[in-house]
Chain A
Amino acid sequence: MSNQSLGEFEELVLLMVAALHDEAYGVSILENLEGKLSKKLNISAVHVALKRIEDKGFVKSRFGGITNDRGGRRKKFYVITALGKRMLDDQYALRTAIYQQIPKISFS
């Protein structure tokens, strides 16, 4: 992660893309994140994050088929790339490593 950075919200969106696997598109990511975080998010925030991590190469996208829902607009599905997965792994490893350095202090 020398030249690639990942903001907090971007990381959440990336995690959710990875978790939802083949079913990740704007609204599903939004709803799942809202459920996990238990707060309201705006769809535009999700889109901004998606476009950023796509530019960085962490996700790929493709259009779904035409349906009668959504005013006839196609969904755009996102899947995580190998680079994105490695990014997540690195982040996870980094956090765990630091977390384990925390001395055992009793807060009770």
Chain B
Amino acid sequence: MKLPPPQRPLKFLRWFCREDYLEEVEGDLIEVFEKQAAVSLRQARRIFTWSVLRYFRPRFIKNFRPLYSTNVMSILRHNLLITLRSFSRHKSSFLINLTGLSTGLACVLLIYLWVNDELHVNQFHENKTRLYKVLENRVQADRIWTAESSSGPTADALAADMPEVEYAITTTHIDAHTMSVDERPFKAAGLYAGKDYFKIFTFHLLHGRKSDLLKEKNNIVLSESLARKLFNRADETVLGKIVEIDHARQYTISGIYEDQPHQATEKPDFVRSFEEFRADHPDWVSTWFSTGANTYVMLKEGVDVNAFNAKIATYVQKKTNGEVKHRTMFLKLYTEKYLYGRYENGVEAGGRITYVRLFSAIAIFILVIACINFMNLSTARAARRLKEIGIKKAIGARRNTLVWQHLGESMLLSLVSMLIAIGLVVLLLPYFNVTTEKQLTLPFNLVFVGRMLGVIVFTGLLAGSYPALYLSGFNPAAILKGKLTSATGELWVRQGLVVFQFTCSVVFIVAVIVVYRQTQYIQSRSLGYSKNNMIVFEREGKIVESENLESFLAALREVPGIMNASATSATLTGHVSGTSGVAWEGKDPNDRTEFENVTVAYDMLETLGFELSEGRSFSRDFPSDTARIIFNEAAIAFMGLKDPIGKVIKLWGEDMEIVGVAKNFHFESLHENVRPLFFRLSPENTSRIMARIEPGQEQATVQRLQQFYETYNPGFTFDFRFLDADYQGQYRAEQRVAVLSRYFAGLAILISCLGLFGLTAFTLERREKEIGIRKVLGSGELRIVLLLSRDITKMVLLAIVLALPLSYYLTNSWLSSFAFRVDLNAAYFILSGVVALAITWITVGLQALRAARLNPVQALKRE
């Protein structure tokens, strides 16, 4: 008996071996095998396999290229022709697809531009992998608070003590000052920074020597745009010139840098030497007990930041000889601070990245919804193209040829849509930039074009794959005999896709309603004071001197239209300054909870309209009010004081008598609970002026104010803002989400409806005869409309049922980031469902009604 040789190597041989050698090789191999198999089967098999492998060499491998090449170009031309014909024959479905896909792609493009920009923020810094900011986790009574500030001496101490540190610098916050050359004032915002500032951060230096930029105490480095404003030029002749700040101090210009790109979070107009700041505030800069400085560290190459963080965790404690235990220092990558800047109880908790992810998801969903339209309409209209497919298959088209033909069709459509989408984006970009506060442009570079091609291919595949596989799978004989009945599976897919579309749409509608309600709530929530018609400006020039403050305020109150005015250290739109230096009877000695510290002048509480629940406000009638203090209710509750009026507490070691308790009001964003706060009277320590304007004549009053200010404070520009604008600033991210979600939800619904419209039109066309017969037999119009919309109503109801839990989960998790929020109301969900149903009925009902009103004779006479 002869044993067969191993099949797998044999198959391999037959696959690769040249036909003219195959018979001889195979025959000889088998003969050798049979002879050896008589001795040892296993060895024979092994030798057979090995021998086959040895034939795998150029001489024995066949030419895999087909002998005759099909004319690719002519096939492409033919397919293009067929595609264009089908577009022009079915104009409505073509237009529906085109509108849907191009608006979908436009959304995707806009979101892509935005997301790309967010991901590139601060990424231009050359040392970004080694550039860190020093953050501190501070233990409070109820939570761990992660602060972005550190103590004044941190940078110098780290540089001296830690060999891993290459550079460490301190900067102040960026704040606005009046700059002047030859008495022409300009407002500009800048900071003080340590000498290595320009080595750590990437600045494009136009003039000046990098090593000498902040060499002297009175050196200043200007941005190009500020130099142009001050000197009308930005060339090297500006170097060495003198510029005056706040009409008080003079600085020598030592360099000019190009304005930072718009992707920088910090864009100072000028940089001054930190040494000057140190000379002005020697105590603050050298104490470890107060914080407020920004410290940046650049580590040496290859240093492990986790190990370094472990090393500096107790650094503050060591430096204060164990006195400060609640502050844990750590480094945060500067570039990550932007997207991952939120901390909850000392643990990183996302930040802007949430919105980046959210919008990316929205972009994908919108694109998918648009692709579903294409799928549904193509499969629904398959019947129209069955003959074409049948004939092609009958004369020998292979399945993959047909698949490629239909994929090509969807690719062409997505290409055209992309071109339209780019056009739309060019038109919309200016408005989009206003909403998102970005400077986005369409970058026509290789990467962008490559990615867009990727999106086109992806969209084409997504939209075209199902119809292509579906259409090419028919049996040609069945098609040509006309025996094809649409399978129920196909119907299921189509309905499933519609349900998916409407689920997305309903989720979008709920999200829009909830986001809208929450932003409304933020706007209208009573804050505990009145933020309307309040004007805010900085103390500058003559007003800085404390002996002038009272007279200035008195004069200001005389300006017609001004109801009241005073000075304060905080605008109450976010945390400004806190202290743990409040001590009261029964305080836990380890407690380091910070009280918000607001310094005010007389009349401030009245100007803002705070309500006192007990006691009185600061008053000129009581001469020693500087040694008195007013707490908010949260602070009283925190300290656990009963009958607080008249009690004495210690602030920074000095006795302060409580004279009043203010009702709780919001001085931070509504994301936060109301924290303890106190007011103290110290007009010389205030930094800004607030004035309330009589409602109804804001413009005239502002003009009068401007005149008054410029005569009182010559050489300074009147630079003011409204308090409610500051307040709005806290919720910029939320408002952006509100606006964008409205647009995108609208688009998603529009695209879904377009699809539904197309699908209904198609169904009605197919059921024209049925409707005709029903009418002839006496069915009423209403019955027919109901009949036609029943299926679609079922689908939308299912979509609503699916969408409700999903949207509940999503909106609930968004709302949970607010300490004060609207409650999720069942009405929102009902409303969304009703809106979705109403839209569906309008889309379907109008068409159904038209079909039902058609004269049955017209439908039936055609045959």
A residues engaging B (CB < 8 A)? 25-27, 30, 42-45, 47-48, 51, 63, 69-71, 73-76
Q: Is the CB of B30 within 8 A of A47?
A: no
Q: How far is the CA of A28 from the CA of B727 in the complex (A)?
A: 99
Q: How far is the CA of A71 from the CA of B25 in the complex (A)?
A: 12
Q: Is the CB of B26 within 8 A of A44?
A: no
7 A-B pairs with C-beta separation under 8 A: A26-B31, A27-B32, A42-B51, A43-B29, A45-B54, A63-B23, A74-B27
Residue of A nearest to B56 (CB): A44
Residue of B nearest to A40 (CB): B47
Q: Is the CB of B27 within 8 A of A73?
A: yes
Residue of B nearest to A68 (CB): B2
- Besides A43-B28, A69-B34, 17 more A-B contacts (Cβ < 8 Å) are A27-B31, A30-B28, A42-B47, A42-B54, A44-B51, A47-B21, A47-B60, A48-B57, A69-B31, A71-B5, A71-B27, A71-B30, A73-B24, A73-B27, A74-B23, A75-B27, A76-B24
Find chain A residues with CB under 8 A from B30 CB.
70-71, 73
Find chain A residues with CB under 8 A from B5 CB.
71
- Name A's interface SS: helix
Find chain A residues with CB under 8 A from B55 CB.
44, 47
Within the complex, the shortest CB–CB distance from A7 to chain B, in Å, comes to: 14
> A42-B50, A43-B51, A73-B26 in contact; A51/B21 too (CB < 8 A)?
yes
Contact of A51 among B28, B32, B59 (CB under 8 A): B59
Residue of A nearest to B23 (CB): A73
Q: How far is the CA of A47 from the CA of B13 in the complex (A)?
A: 14
Within the complex, the shortest CB–CB distance from A35 to chain B, in Å, comes to: 14
B residues 1-31 touching A (CB-CB < 8 Å): 5, 21, 23-31
Find chain A residues with CB under 8 A from B59 CB.
48, 51
- 6 smallest beta-carbon distances between A and B, as pairs: A73-B27, A26-B28, A44-B54, A76-B24, A70-B27, A71-B30
Within the complex, the shortest CB–CB distance from B72 to chain A, in Å, comes to: 35
Q: How far is the CA of A25 from the CA of B29 in the complex (A)?
A: 12
Within the complex, the shortest CB–CB distance from B6 to chain A, in Å, comes to: 13
Residue of B nearest to A64 (CB): B27
Within the complex, the shortest CB–CB distance from A77 to chain B, in Å, comes to: 10
B residues engaging A (CB < 8 A)? 5, 21, 23-32, 34-35, 47, 50-51, 54-55, 57, 59-60
Residue of A nearest to B55 (CB): A44
Find chain B residues with CB under 8 A from A70 CB.
27-28, 30-31, 34
Q: How far is the CA of A48 from the CA of B28 in the complex (A)?
A: 13
Find chain B residues with CB under 8 A from A51 CB.
21, 59
Find chain A residues with CB under 8 A from B50 CB.
42
Q: Is the CB of A30 within 8 A of B21?
A: no
Within the complex, the shortest CB–CB distance from B372 to chain A, in Å, comes to: 55
Q: How far is the CA of A26 from the CA of B25 in the complex (A)?
A: 8
Find chain A residues with CB under 8 A from B34 CB.
69-70
Within the complex, the shortest CB–CB distance from A28 to chain B, in Å, comes to: 10
Find chain B residues with CB under 8 A from A71 CB.
5, 26-27, 30
Q: How far is the CA of A42 from the CA of B51 in the complex (A)?
A: 7
Q: Is the CB of A47 within 8 A of B31?
A: no
Find chain A residues with CB under 8 A from B47 CB.
42
Q: How far is the CA of A51 from the CA of B60 in the complex (A)?
A: 10
Q: Which among B27, B29, B34, B35 has the greatest number of chain A C-beta atoms within 10 A?
A: B27
Within the complex, the shortest CB–CB distance from A20 to chain B, in Å, comes to: 14
Q: Is the CB of A26 within 8 A of B24?
A: yes
Find chain B residues with CB under 8 A from A73 CB.
23-24, 26-27, 30
Q: Which among B25, B26, B31, B47 has the greatest number of chain A C-beta atoms within 10 A?
A: B31
Residue of A nearest to B47 (CB): A42
Q: How far is the CA of A45 from the CA of B47 in the complex (A)?
A: 13
Q: Is the CB of A27 within 8 A of B28?
A: yes
Q: How far is the CA of A47 from the CA of B32 in the complex (A)?
A: 13
Q: How far is the CA of A3 from the CA of B55 in the complex (A)?
A: 27
Find chain B residues with CB under 8 A from A42 CB.
47, 50-51, 54
Q: How far is the CA of A51 from the CA of B26 in the complex (A)?
A: 15
Within the complex, the shortest CB–CB distance from B10 to chain A, in Å, comes to: 9
Q: How far is the CA of A76 from the CA of B25 in the complex (A)?
A: 9
Q: How far is the CA of A94 from the CA of B5 in the complex (A)?
A: 45
Residue of A nearest to B25 (CB): A47
Find chain A residues with CB under 8 A from B60 CB.
47
Q: How far is the CA of A42 from the CA of B55 in the complex (A)?
A: 11
Q: How far is the CA of A52 from the CA of B528 in the complex (A)?
A: 100
Residue of A nearest to B29 (CB): A43
Within the complex, the shortest CB–CB distance from B505 to chain A, in Å, comes to: 66
> A42-B50, A42-B54 in contact; A47/B28 too (CB < 8 A)?
yes
Find chain A residues with CB under 8 A from B54 CB.
42, 44-45
Q: How far is the CA of A75 from the CA of B25 in the complex (A)?
A: 9
> A42-B50, A48-B59 in contact; A25/B23 too (CB < 8 A)?
no
Residue of B nearest to A73 (CB): B27
Within the complex, the shortest CB–CB distance from B704 to chain A, in Å, comes to: 104
Within the complex, the shortest CB–CB distance from B260 to chain A, in Å, comes to: 70
> A42-B54, A44-B54 in contact; A25/B21 too (CB < 8 A)?
no
> A48-B59, A51-B59 in contact; A43/B32 too (CB < 8 A)?
yes
Find chain B residues with CB under 8 A from A30 CB.
28, 32
Q: How far is the CA of A44 from the CA of B27 in the complex (A)?
A: 12
Q: How far is the CA of A82 from the CA of B313 in the complex (A)?
A: 94
Find chain A residues with CB under 8 A from B57 CB.
48
Residue of B nearest to A29 (CB): B28
Q: Which among A43, A45, A63, A74 has the greatest number of chain B C-beta atoms within 10 A?
A: A43
Q: How far is the CA of A76 from the CA of B51 in the complex (A)?
A: 18
Within the complex, the shortest CB–CB distance from B847 to chain A, in Å, comes to: 69
Residue of B nearest to A77 (CB): B24
Q: Which among A69, A73, A75 has the greatest number of chain B C-beta atoms within 10 A?
A: A73
Q: How far is the CA of A70 from the CA of B25 in the complex (A)?
A: 11
Q: How far is the CA of A48 from the CA of B51 in the complex (A)?
A: 12
Q: Is the CB of A25 within 8 A of B28?
A: yes
Q: How far is the CA of A43 from the CA of B54 in the complex (A)?
A: 9
Find chain B residues with CB under 8 A from A75 CB.
24, 27-28
Within the complex, the shortest CB–CB distance from B565 to chain A, in Å, comes to: 102
Find chain B residues with CB under 8 A from A27 CB.
28, 31-32, 35
Find chain B residues with CB under 8 A from A47 CB.
21, 24-25, 28, 55, 60
Q: How far is the CA of A44 from the CA of B26 in the complex (A)?
A: 11
Q: Which among B23, B24, B32, B47 has the greatest number of chain A C-beta atoms within 10 A?
A: B24
Residue of A nearest to B4 (CB): A71
Q: How far is the CA of A107 from the CA of B290 in the complex (A)?
A: 104
Residue of B nearest to A47 (CB): B25
Within the complex, the shortest CB–CB distance from B3 to chain A, in Å, comes to: 11
